[in-house]
Amino acid sequence: MTIFEKMMAIDRRWVFLLLAVVVVGTYAISFQIPIRINSEVRTIYEFVDKLKPGEIVYLGIDYDPSNQAELHPMAYAVMEHCFRKNLRIIFCTLSQYGPGMVDAAIKDITDSLKLDKTYNGIDYKGRELVNGIDYVFLGYKPYYALQILAMGQNFRLPFPIDYYGQPLDSRPMMQGVVNYKQVAVVIDLSGGNITDAWISYGQGRFNFPLALGTTGVMAADYYPYLNSGQVLGLMGGLLGAAQYEKLADNPGPAVDGMRIQVFAHLVIIAFIVLGNIGYFTAKRRRAKEGK
Amino acid sequence: MKRQIPLVLVLIFGLFMVIQYFIPHESSEWIYEYLLDWITIIGVFALVLGIWSLFKVNYDKISQRKPDRGYSLVLLISLFATMFFGFFAKVDGSWGLHFSTADGLQSYMYRHAYEYIIRPIQSTIFSLLAFFIASAAYRAFRARNVLASLLLAAALIVMLRFNPYLGPLGDYISEAANWLLNVPNLAAKRAIVIGIGLGMVATALKVILGIERSYMGKG
């Protein structure tokens, strides 16, 4: 076997090993990489940033722990931005493993919001988030398309009580909030078909502003909806989360994770280039030898 | 009658759901909400049937001592343990029924099963994808012909679009990636979405008009 043929047939365990070394190495060595912002994420950030205090954002945490690495930083970035702007959030999950993640995220953000912080030159005083006043968590119900349709009629139809067992009517924040008409924007973070349901059954029927956060591999599927104006913005994968964190001047796990992703991509590209060099050189040699 | 009644019901409700979309009247909305409740109720029956089917298939495997019965045993134990801790919780030192209450949801076992079993398992399996994708990309992305070369070029451009170490070249790559996503990708995706939409309308019409009857168990 010539060296070029070897370049085409590297044992996959070497690929795994090198990728693991790069991922662990870039995770262990802390350094920042510049993040470029694209317009799809900027429109979401600017839309949220321009909302008036007290307005309501519906945040759908519609993903499982398998997508946590990509989508959880997005959720944290959006939540912190909304709460610092004194917006109110309706949390809901249409994914069966979602409730535990939402509950934990709310607790984390509640702790973070107690601290005074400065973002983009603006000082935000720390405050205590109050369940039922600053946010409600509706909980989880199966059959996502049905729940999206039902919430369009009244949030109380699928969720007469919230995740914590309190009647929705007893929550001060929900006084006068009937359906999507009282919601300024729906931001759906999802790693599956729930995104399609939000477009078809939610935005298509009730015509509310819809922003999406998806996994990296899904993002390309939603450009037609972005282009048609059905979706106001799109955050794709860890990169989308990192861009939101950067715009919000609140670097977190996404910005931190981007250096790992960039170098992991470089390893993959290096292997692809190596394989192609081997392929073309071996092909040329075979042609010269008249095989 | 066994065939006619379901066909008539599908025709009536199918047509109603189409027509009500265009009638924003109170009575239309009321019937629509009423039907949504029905769908939820039917969905709950399906859930019960699904759990029963899951139980039966795995119970049969264990009782017939099939070779992979160990997995079935783990599945059934996990199923019933999760259900048990979802319904019952130990609050203030005593066990009780706490379904859908704040106390029940904070149940030690229920939360820990989620935090320390489901979350790590799901995250681990998904993380392994990175390694398989790297290996698959190395083997599959070969410029063997024009189409494969185009695919390879597009993949490289999209992967490199936000790489900060490319200097001025990075801007061009970023623009090229945006063009790829907003023009060829968008055109192809839009064609697929429109095609799927038309297919769904055609299938729905076939079901409503009784031409497609496979949902009744026979073709």
**Dihedral angle sign, alpha carbons of residues B197, B199, B201, B203:** negative
- Scanning the structure block, which residue is given the tokens 């038309």? B198
* Residues paired with A122 in a beta bridge: A119
Q: How does strand A233-236 pair with strand A210-214?
A: parallel
CB contact under 8 A, B134 and A149: no
CA separation, residue A96 to residues A99, B38, B101, B167 (Å): 7, 21, 17, 44
Question: What pLDDT is recorded for position A99?
Answer: 86
- End-to-end Cα separation, chain A, in angstroms: 16
| d(C-alpha A104, C-alpha B115), whole Å | 10
- pLDDT higher than 70, residue B57: yes
Whether residue A77 contacts residue A252, with contact meaning beta carbons closer than 8 Å, is answered with yes
CATH topology for A35-250? Answer: Rossmann fold (3.40.50)
Q: What is the mean pLDDT of chain B?
A: 87
List strand residue ranges (DSSP E) for A147-283, in order: 185-190, 210-214, 233-236
Residue range A80-105: mean pLDDT, rounded: 93
pLDDT 10s digits, A154-210: 999 889 999 888 899 999 999 999 999 999 999 999 998 899 999 999 999 899 999
Residues from chain A contacting residue B37 (CB–CB below 8 Å): 157
pLDDT 10s digits, A216-231: 989 989 998 998 999 9
SS3 per-residue string spanning A30-95: CCCCCCCCCHHHHHHHHHHHCCCCCCEEEEEEECCHHHHHHHHHHHHHHHHHHHHCCCEEEEEECC
Q: Please name which of A211, A261, A258, A275 lies closest in space to residue A14, comparing C-alpha atoms.
A: A275
List strand residue ranges (DSSP E) for B65-183, in order: 88-91, 94-97
Question: Per-domain residue ranges for chain A?
Answer: 1-32+258-291, 35-250
* Residues paired with A211 in a beta bridge: A187, A233
Closest approach of B55 to chain A, Cα-based (Å): 20
ipTM of the complex: 0.79
Question: Per-domain residue ranges for chain B?
Answer: 1-66, 80-140
**Residue A138: partners with Cβ closer than 8 Å, 6 or more residues away:** A90, A91, A92, A155, A158, A159, A162, A163, A168
- The token pair at B13 is 């409700």
| d(C-alpha A165, C-alpha A139), whole Å | 9
CB contact under 8 A, A272 and B137: yes
Question: Which pTM was predicted?
Answer: 0.88
**Residue A176: partners with Cβ closer than 8 Å, 6 or more residues away:** A182
Closest approach of A87 to chain B, Cα-based (Å): 25
Question: What pLDDT is recorded for position B219?
Answer: 47
pLDDT 10s digits, B2-22: 788 989 999 999 998 888 888
CB contact under 8 A, B162 and A266: no
B26, B107, B138, B158: best mutation site toward chain A, by most A Cβ within 10 Å?
A: B138
| d(C-alpha A185, C-alpha A94), whole Å | 17
A269, A283, A284: best mutation site toward chain B, by most B Cβ within 10 Å?
A: A269
Residues from chain A contacting residue B43 (CB–CB below 8 Å): 142-143, 146
**How many CB atoms lie under 10 A from the CB of residue A94?**
27
CB contact under 8 A, A223 and B185: yes
* Structure confidence at residue B75 as a pLDDT band (50, 70, 90): very high
CB contact under 8 A, B162 and A276: no
- The token pair at A40 is 């799809």
- The token pair at A115 is 């601290």
Using CB atoms within 10 A of its CB, is residue B155 exposed (0-12), middle (13-18) or buried (19+)?
Answer: middle
Whether residue A167 contacts residue A161, with contact meaning beta carbons closer than 8 Å, is answered with yes
Looking at per-residue pLDDT, the higher value among A55 and B88 belongs to A55
Residue range A239-245: mean pLDDT, rounded: 95
CB contact under 8 A, A220 and B189: yes
